Structure 1
Amino acid sequence: MQKLLNYRLKALANRIRDGELRRKVIEFLENPVFEVGGKVYSGLPLDVSPAGLSHHHCYPGGYVEHVVSTANLALAMCSSVEKVYHGKVNRDIVIAGVLLHDVFKPATYVVNENGSYGSSSLADYMDHLSLVVAELVRRDFPLEVIHVVSAHHGDYGPIRPHTVEALICHLADLMDSRLNGEVLNAASYLCRKAVGEEPHGLTSKEAFEIICSKTVEGWEGVAKALERIKRKRTAHKT
């Protein structure tokens, strides 16, 4: 059970106007557990969990970053649909869907002895999407929210988006995961070219620092950025 809900996730949940839906979402985020065969599963705390193992947000805190960034993108698309195309979007459904779409990913991850992340034994039997959809049904969430979550993988999921809200969440999720993955890959490439190695477990903040340093100071800037990152990591450990 989560001891304290991350303030950024709670701030997003508090933007849900429907009181009952808001209560359900906050309760789920505060208690992201499920039971199978009499055994209760929880997984890594949302605050420290990654949102992926290799392609995107694969570092501590990546889960929260991904959810917050995806929500920002989704809400920006809601504004575009409303103001430019004069369409209607239920923002409560969008926010709820984004907040919960990956909520059981941490349950499928473990921290290895070397500090890297791997798949838990649960992941051998169930994927995070099947788990969360089943739990949303069990917790009596609205069908519209369940559809947003079940369709967020788009063409690669069990069902394609059939509502505007589901389409927005799918595209926002895809956009953020691609953005983060491309930035991490670019920063890793710059590190290898500049100094012949890359630091383990680059975060998005570190990756952007490296890329921006290359833009301003060239290859020397990359080396300087790496030194700053190493000093910060060392200071953080002490």
Structure 2
Amino acid sequence: MSEISRRNFFKLGASAALGAALFNLETLPNTALAKGNATKTLKFTPISIKNLPNAETAAKKSELINTSLNYIKTCISKITDNNLRTKTASFIEDTRPTFMQMYPSSNDVTNIYNKLADENLLNTSIISPEQLFPSYNGQKPQDFISGPGSGYSSHHPYPGGLCTHTAANLSISEGIVNTYKQVFGYEVDNNIVLSAQSLHDLAKPWVFQWNTDGTSFTEYTIAGTGAHHILSLVEAIHRNMPAEEIVAQACAHNHPGSPKDEEQVVSWIKAASIIAQVNPIKYGLLDTSGTKIPYPQHQEGYIVHLGDHDWVLSGFAATKVVEALKEIAQKDYNFSSNDLNGKLFNDFRNYIGAQVSYMYLHNLLAQNGFGELRSLINQIIVK
């Protein structure tokens, strides 16, 4: 794909340009390069409102998402432990929940559900045995590249949001590692940080599969947190990842810095261990009492937790951007109420998010105003 100016794009004619032209926003005289965002060229592929692709295609054809995935792979390549590097990379390539081979029947699922309930790790009033695991047919639920960053009303909920979210987390985590090195003069185990952060959401391609209407699966909770967190740990245990990596990965959703907080992390490790059918003490995930993580606590888990805080802003940004996109869809594309609550709008918002991210769009809205956001959307989605 070539980079062309807005003026030359329209000279080509819509039929020749749609689906083929790759916009470079730095070349556009009046477009939306949000203030403070001009450090990187933003590229997107315009498309007709009539040709919006499904979620997985939207992600795979996005330069933003492919660049983010390549960044994740580059970070993994920095892991100096050959075995850890190879294992970490394998999760990105193979998103199957291989531990499900232990649960071939509904009776097997019900039995493990009851074990979790007996340990007060499930709220049986809101999750049933049938809802414990997302649907799975033995094949990849989807490629890592197309998974959303979270649920459809949460952070980076567009196709490929998992890649942008994970890439951002890795960049943040590396920044923390380097800060501690520069300011305090010591190095943590960066191999563990890179591996745990890369894999902290490894179950999301399974948990958040795409529905035909463009939304993603609804997530349930296990041990008081999103099921994806527990199921990611289960798969890491099942594939025999090192205990240090799994403990650091478990800390993504909370740090173990106080008794109450550590209790949460321990409960997640216990839930994952029950499903993975391993003894967490023998594996090295908990201390001999089974009530604490191994002592002394290492800093890598805290860094993974700090690095996983992109959601604080990105969840808010997604909410505001989707609100604005609904207004634009109604005013500029004549979406009806049914359209705004159905597949057409879902495909519309999915494609836009995958092309430029909701984070970029929110900053554009905040810095430059609704008019600039509207102008950019009109360039991405052509009537």
TM-score range, shorter chain: 0.7 to 0.9
**1:192 deviation in Å?**
7.5
1:223 aligns with 2:364: no
CA distances 1:63-91 after superposition (whole Å, capped 9, x unpaired): 00010000000000001111112233111
1:212 aligns with 2:275: no
Whole-angstrom CA distance in 1 between matches of 2:221 and 2:189: 36
Candidates 185, 189, 193, aligned match of 2:319: 185
Contact persistence 2:180–2:187 (CA under 8 A): yes
**1:212 deviation in Å?**
2.7
Contact persistence 1:50–1:59 (CA under 8 A): yes
1:103 aligns with 2:202: yes
**1:44 deviation in Å?**
2.5
1:88 maps to 187
Candidates 23, 28, 40, aligned match of 2:91: 28
Whole-angstrom CA distance in 2 between matches of 1:75 and 1:106: 24
**1:16 deviation in Å?**
0.6
1:16 aligns with 2:115: no
**1:58 deviation in Å?**
0.4
CA distances 1:198-225 after superposition (whole Å, capped 9, x unpaired): 9744626355245335534x4xxx2242
Contact persistence 2:155–2:315 (CA under 8 A): yes
| Structure with more contact order per residue of length (Cα contacts < 8 Å, sep ≥ 6) | 2
Mean CA deviation greater in 146-155 or 180-189: 180-189
**1:119 deviation in Å?**
2.6
* Number of equivalenced pairs: 225
Whole-angstrom CA distance in 2 between matches of 1:213 and 1:28: 36
- What percentage of aligned pairs have identical amino acids? 21
**1:131 deviation in Å?**
2.0
1:167 aligns with 2:167: no
2:232 maps to 132
Q: What secondary structure does 1:94 align onto?
A: helix
2:39 maps to none
**1:108 deviation in Å?**
0.9
What is the identity, as a one-letter code, of the residue corresponding to 2:138?
V
Change (3 A) 1:206 1:169: closer
Change (3 A) 1:196 1:85: farther
Question: Which entry has the higher C-alpha Rg, 1 or 2?
Answer: 2
1:43 maps to 141
Structure 2 residues without counterparts, runs of 5 or longer? 1-65, 105-136, 255-260, 270-291, 332-339, 341-347
Contact persistence 2:157–2:318 (CA under 8 A): no
TM-score (norm 1): 0.80
Contact persistence 1:97–1:146 (CA under 8 A): yes
